[in-house]
Amino acid sequence: MNSLVFSLYADPVFTEKMIKNLQCKKGEIILHQFPDEENSITIKSDVKNKNIILLAHIEKPNFKIVTLIFFAELAKELGATSITLITPYLAYMRQDNRFNPGEGISSIYFARLLSKYFDSIITIDPHLHRYHKLDELFTIPGIVLHATKPIAQWIKAHVVHPLIIGPDNESKQWAQEIAQYSDAPFVILSKTRQDDHSVSVTLPELDQYKDFTPVLVDDIISTGKTMMEAVKELQLLSMKRAVCIAVHGVFAGDAYQELLATHVSKVVTCNTIKHISNEIDIYDLIIEHLLKVFSLEK
């Protein structure tokens, strides 16, 4: 096997799981931070003629991205054949439009930047809304894996009589699929965003679902305001306590604690970003995909 797995800012447990299942060798990196907070990176392993798999958790990306770029530059200088970037959460995808005159479209710039340094990218449910496919943004091959099946399995195992609820139109792609896989009905709410920290949500008629457990599903919980507003509206209709599920638990500031303090019974996320709420594993999806790729290469 000519692949080496490196890990940057990823949890060692996730990295070990990948290495064990892929039966690859682990690449060794030394990161050093100077007193002025600048970075230096050393690759200890021999990467010459190797295909590199870099697992990187890049939530809060601004500092981390510099290290990723230094890693890619160095690995190529040292003779690596290719670098596949695995970022379970793909940051910067939500700014997908020029909402105000003169505003930058960060998703495009971020995708172009990664495309310059990596040969391919694998990610889990990126926020593709106005853009529908990674290749509308990236110039390198991109693979999108979906957490909808593992989420549906979790719901089937833990929730009695679920009603799947997408809190906004953008969440329909996940809500619909999760509902299908968990044999549950679904509804989509309507959301208006006022600013980063405030949204309003309106509910459709839910009388027929009074005995169901509301299960809110979204791709990202950031400030948690989307979930909180939806939960508030459900409570006003005397619905049961909601279960909130997100693929990516970004949880800006105290969002997790604030959400837990509302009319919810549980807040659950996938392990694309390490957090106490991680109950749904997506690493099997990544491993399964890579094993398929490896068997095709043989």
> Does residue number 170 form part of the binding site for ligand R5P (CB under 6 A)?
yes
The interface region with ligand R5P, picked from 35-43, 164-172, 237-245, 279-287 by CB under 6 A, is 164-172
**By C-beta, is 83 or 134 nearer to ligand R5P?**
134
- Is the torsion defined by CA of 65, 88, 224, 188 positive or negative? positive
Draw the binding track, 112-141, toward ligand R5P (x: CB under 6 A; -: no contact). Answer: ------------------------------
**Cβ–Cβ contacts within 10 Å for residue 190, how many?**
12
The one-letter amino acid at 191:
K
# chain residues binding ligand R5P, by CB under 6 A: 14
Comparison of 142 and 224: residue with beta carbon closer to ligand R5P: 224
The reply on whether position 221 binds ligand R5P by CB under 6 A is yes
Residue 116: burial class (beta carbons within 10 Å; 0-12, 13-18, 19+): exposed
Residue the block writes with tokens 């990823």:
10
Confirm or reject binding of residue 166 to ligand R5P (CB under 6 A).
Answer: no
Residue 84 in contact with residue 51, Cβ under 8 Å?
Answer: yes
Q: Which of 51, 87, 115, 223 binds ligand R5P (CB under 6 A)?
A: 223
| Interface segment toward ligand R5P; rule CB under 6 A; list 163-171, 233-241, 261-269, 274-282 | 163-171
CB neighbour list of residue 149: distance below 8 Å, 6 or more residues apart: 181
Tokens 């997790």 correspond to what residue? 256
Quick check: 218 binds ligand R5P (CB under 6 A)?
Answer: yes
Classify strands 198-202 and 190-195 as parallel, antiparallel or unpaired: antiparallel
Q: Tell me whether residue 67 or residue 226 sits nearer to ligand R5P (CB atom).
A: 226
Q: Rule CB under 6 A: is residue 272 a binding residue for ligand R5P?
A: no
DSSP of 254-297: THHHHHHTSSEEEEEEETTS--TTEEE--HHHHHHHHHHHHHHH
Question: Does 224 participate in binding ligand R5P (rule CB under 6 A)?
Answer: yes
Cβ 208 to ligand R5P, closest distance in Å?
A: 25
The 10 Å CB-count burial string (b at 16+, else e) for 233-258 is bbbeeebbebbbbbbbbbbeeebbee
Least separation in angstroms between residue 147's CB and ligand R5P is 14
What is the spatial distance between Cα 8 and Cα 66, in angstroms, rounded to a whole number?
11
Residue 57 Cβ vs ligand R5P, minimum distance, rounded to whole Å: 18
248 sits near ligand R5P (criterion: CB under 6 A) = no
Instruction: Identify whether the C-beta of residue 91 lies closer than 8 Å to the C-beta of residue 59.
Output: yes
| Interaction between residue 220 and ligand R5P (CB under 6 A) | yes
Question: Please, what is the minimum distance in Å from the beta carbon of residue 47 to ligand R5P?
Answer: 36
According to the binding rule CB under 6 A, does residue 219 interact with ligand R5P? yes
Q: Which residues contribute to the site for ligand R5P (CB under 6 A)?
A: 94, 168, 170-171, 199, 218-226
